[in-house]
């Protein structure tokens, strides 16, 4: 899932707990942090399956809250991505219909496959979360701007065995204006369309990072932002997200609620290991 969905998910799990602002901020950043794998700096499995190990290794109580956020995101032990990605998860159940909707816009989207539908569902879920929790974008921005976060991210980097150079890359990335704008733009179909364009461009550039210079130039030309803008129209993409939102809205919130309930027992057990 995408950042607003993960942030909302973990805050709902801890609803009713009298958390400090710092604890909430660390939960939020932890719930989003595993997706640093899209930068190519680390494998998906390491950020999505090692949250529990990091929790037990962390000494600082706030870093344990960061770990709880990471656990809520991941696939092991059965965070939100487990319920969305694995087997007959939510995305698998919804993918067929979303593919049908996307194919109506094939002239604008270009090649469409299962991963296209996967990403469309994730982007749409963030729109739906913003509907029921209009404050979530600001909560995410506040969390990432917490000055204590650099130390927490460094703690996770050290756990993963990152060099200081790689750690500073992650800190710089997570404080990047474009990343913060991305969080803010998740709230509406219109701005989500812009996020889709930007992230699609970024992913295509990352795929070509190890190509020879001549091939890099060809790839950059093919996927240049302005060329893509002419192909993938904001208005048409906005309409697509509105259609997907209408389809997912029926049971998206109940799916999230059920997944949250399944994590509460684990959460209650882990909280006993945090000293205040």
CA neighbor of 199 nearest in space, from 175, 181, 218: 181
Residues 66, 10 contacting (CB under 8 angstroms) = no
3-state secondary structure of 168: helix
CA neighbor of 256 nearest in space, from 116, 139, 132, 119: 132
Alpha-carbon torsion 85, 110, 184, 249, what sign? negative
What is the mean pLDDT for each group of 10 consecutive residues in the chain (276 residues)?
A: 94 95 98 89 88 96 98 94 88 95 84 88 92 92 95 96 92 85 80 74 58 57 51 75 94 94 92 82
Location of structure tokens 């205040």: 276
Residues 6 or more apart whose CB falls under 8 angstroms from that of 125 comprise: 1, 2, 4, 5, 248, 252
Distance CA 33, CA 160 (A): 13
CA neighbor of 6 nearest in space, from 30, 27, 31, 25: 31
Burial 93-105 (b: 16+ CB within 10 A, else e): ebbeebbebbeeb
Residues 6 or more apart whose CB falls under 8 angstroms from that of 135 comprise: none
Task: Write down the H helix ranges in the chain.
Answer: 3-13, 21-32, 44-49, 51-57, 61-73, 80-85, 90-103, 106-109, 114-132, 136-144, 149-160, 164-174, 177-184, 189-207, 213-222, 225-231, 234-248, 252-271
**pLDDT confidence of residue 99:** 95
**pLDDT confidence of residue 230:** 45
Is residue 254 packed enough to be buried (19+ CB in 10 Å), middle (13-18) or exposed (0-12)? Answer: exposed
A 10 A CB-CB count for 225 gives: 13
First to last CA, the chain: 31
Task: Write down the H helix ranges in 17-113.
Answer: 21-32, 44-49, 51-57, 61-73, 80-85, 90-103, 106-109
């Amino acid at each position: 899932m995408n950042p607003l969905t993960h942030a909302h998910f973990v805050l709902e799990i801890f609803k009713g707990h009298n958390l400090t602002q710092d604890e909430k901020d660390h939960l939020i950043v932890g719930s989003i942090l595993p997706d640093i794998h899209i930068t190519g700096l680390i494998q998906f499995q390491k950020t999505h399956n090692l949250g529990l190990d990091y929790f037990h290794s962390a000494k600082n109580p706030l870093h344990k809250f960061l770990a709880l956020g990471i656990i809520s995101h991941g696939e092991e032990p059965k965070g939100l991505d487990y319920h969305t990605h694995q087997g007959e998860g939510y995305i698998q159940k919804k993918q067929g219909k979303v593919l049908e909707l996307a194919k109506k816009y094939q002239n604008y989207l270009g090649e469409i496959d299962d991963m296209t539908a996967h990403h469309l569902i994730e982007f749409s879920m963030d729109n739906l979360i913003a509907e029921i929790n209009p404050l979530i974008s600001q909560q995410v921005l506040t969390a990432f701007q917490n000055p204590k976060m650099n130390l927490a991210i460094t703690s996770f980097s050290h756990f993963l065995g990152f060099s200081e150079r790689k750690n500073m890359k992650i800190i710089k990335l997570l404080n990047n204006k474009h990343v913060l704008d991305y969080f803010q733009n998740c709230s509406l179909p219109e701005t989500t369309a812009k996020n889709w364009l930007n992230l699609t461009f970024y992913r295509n550039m990352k795929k070509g990072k190890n190509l020879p210079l001549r091939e890099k130039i060809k790839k950059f030309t093919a996927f240049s932002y302005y060329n893509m803008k002419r192909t993938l129209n904001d208005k048409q993409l906005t309409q697509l997200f509105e259609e997907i939102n209408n389809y997912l809205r029926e049971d998206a919130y109940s799916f999230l609620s059920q997944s949250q309930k399944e994590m509460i027992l684990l959460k209650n057990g882990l909280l006993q290991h945090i000293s205040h």
